[in-house]
Chain A
């Protein structure tokens, strides 16, 4: 059972390490803008493991790239804020952002098999990352001097479970799992506050997958970094993350504790998703979700899921739902939960609500 962070009146308020507010990323094609990420907000406390699941095209990978501010034309970050430890990443200059990458927020990319430069040795690839961020310093007898970045490489490799001899090898001499570990080693080398892992294990077999995820968890807890794990393997999510966010058509439609989502999925899409998972207990026909995701180019009004939703109402066609905390620490974007226990009307300010998404409630709030 994965430990869950719990809020309570006696727990002090911990400011979130990452706050994403109304992030919008559009791809500008000849036929118009494709709204890949359309107003996503969430926040994470330090050390949390957050999962993001969704179908292909739901916007998960785009979020990963936008957090690193690596969206290339014709894509563009249209609006919103990404606040990392108090600093809005989207407002930084190019050079400032470059220095932030890897040092404060690090990426484990999809297809990490090919993330390593084929003509450079492992230690040189780790070292050049370190050197790009000011190198490695050591204090000796009170004096701070620069160390050769390559000296820290054996230690890093050991932390991810690799023999130090790997340092002198070229990527083509390593197996898929080993390459992935090297990438993880690079990721933690500067002790970032947030790690974004975009389907880090999709290309690996199940056994290696588990080993890699264990390694990732171990080093992440060691350095206290928050992790955003993006993928579509629900089983993996269940074993690894604290909270789970569900993406659909570029929007975040549900965000809750992972076990709560499995126990009682709130959003109809999540319900269908959970129901479609094969189970060892039940035997029967596979259930899919009928229909297709909507076009992100000509996005319909109202709720994006309405055309496939078994519980769609007339209001769903005209009014778009927003992400609300409908139960303690359970956020859903769905009109079905309008009536029940939300504080939207009472506080009258939606943004304050959205800002608190993921952060611990200060003891005094109601």
Chain B
């Protein structure tokens, strides 16, 4: 059965989303005594001035997903809501809607992730390629060990060390937050500068470790590629060394490296999320952390689903560019 590459990827995309949504549906119903229900009831009990609002929320919840309805109806209603990105209200921050909370935090996370991943991938890949090339400058060889060590350390642990050393011991950088306390987010240049200043340490935590990971991976690919016949033949053709390195070795070695990038998006995002928590950076990571502490289940599920969605989109995009760089793969046929 010849299935187009494109179609297969799209099917996978849909299945991933469906799986994530279903997981969010099943989980609370697995544990003995529905924890969501428990949480709602406890919120109700401790209500205070929000009492009326919480009651409203509980009513809305029961109406939509009420446990008195048959399971499959609950499921269908839930899926419908998920499609519309409606995750309900935040229990802890009522009357804020989950989606709005996520949307406020998303730009921070995306900017941090995008920049860090881009820098670390480019830097790491280049470094890794040089590390594997026999005629690179001497000092590059000595970088192998530290790169290996760095790649083995999880981002957030690196973050803790950085916070202490560059934030507390030698107070060069702010230790938490996305911006100075008291200022309101706006698009002024001063604010942006401040935001960048605050994001340096979190970004550094990610870049240092991720670059190491990409470097080690690329080095491995390059070693394999260097032994290929076409690299040997390129030398026999009298191609200058830079040309062989760039157009014959690197150009081919980067293909599996891109696949590796697509596969590791999930890990990268997970790591970045925890980094945010360590730095109190106002992205979805911190949002998630607060939600865990206050057992704000709707926010938790919303964040997870949105993250899965974002990664699925990114992976799909990456996979679709793959045939553009590797002529052996086309959109038709596996």
Contact = CB atoms under 8 A, between A and B. Distances in A.
Asked whether any CB of A lies within 8 Å of a CB of B in the complex, the reply is yes
Contacts of A100: 238
Contacts of A172: 327-328
A115 interface: yes
B237 A109 contact: no
A101 B228 CA distance: 19
B238 A109 contact: no
B235 interface: yes
Given A119-B251, A119-B326, A132-B243, A102 B230 contact: no
A185 to B, nearest CB: 12
A118 B229 CA distance: 11
A213 interface: no
Contacts of B232: 70, 109, 115
Interface string A89-122: 0000000001111110011010111111111100
A236 interface: no
A70 B247 contact: no
Contacts of A107: 233, 236
A100 B229 CA distance: 20
Given A117-B252, A118-B230, A70 B238 contact: no
Interface in B254-272: 255
B243 A119 contact: no
A170 B327 CA distance: 7
B238 A132 contact: yes
A222 B325 CA distance: 39
Interface in A180-211: 183, 186
B252 A119 contact: yes
B239 A129 contact: yes
Contacts of A129: 237-239
Interface residues of A, number: 29
Contacts of B228: 114
B321 to A, nearest CB: 14
B240 interface: yes
B234 interface: yes
Contacts of B235: 70, 101
A78 interface: no
Given A114-B230, A118-B328, A119-B327, A132 B252 contact: no
A133 interface: yes
B305 interface: no
A145 B141 CA distance: 44
B214 interface: no
Contacts of A117: 230, 234, 247-248, 251-252
Contact of A128 (B239, B255, B325): B239
B230 A116 contact: yes
Interface string A137-163: 000000000000000000000000000
Contacts of B240: 98, 132
B228 to A, nearest CB: 7
Nearest to B228: A114
B233 A109 contact: yes
A323 interface: no
Nearest to B328: A172
A115 B229 contact: yes
Given A99-B238, A115-B232, A172-B328, 20 more contacts: A70-B235, A101-B235, A101-B236, A102-B237, A107-B233, A109-B229, A109-B236, A111-B229, A112-B229, A115-B233, A116-B233, A117-B248, A117-B251, A118-B252, A118-B327, A119-B252, A128-B239, A133-B238, A170-B328, A186-B237
6 contacts: A70-B236, A101-B238, A116-B230, A119-B327, A133-B238, A172-B328
- List the 3 closest A-B pairs by CB distance, nearest first: A114-B229, A101-B238, A115-B233
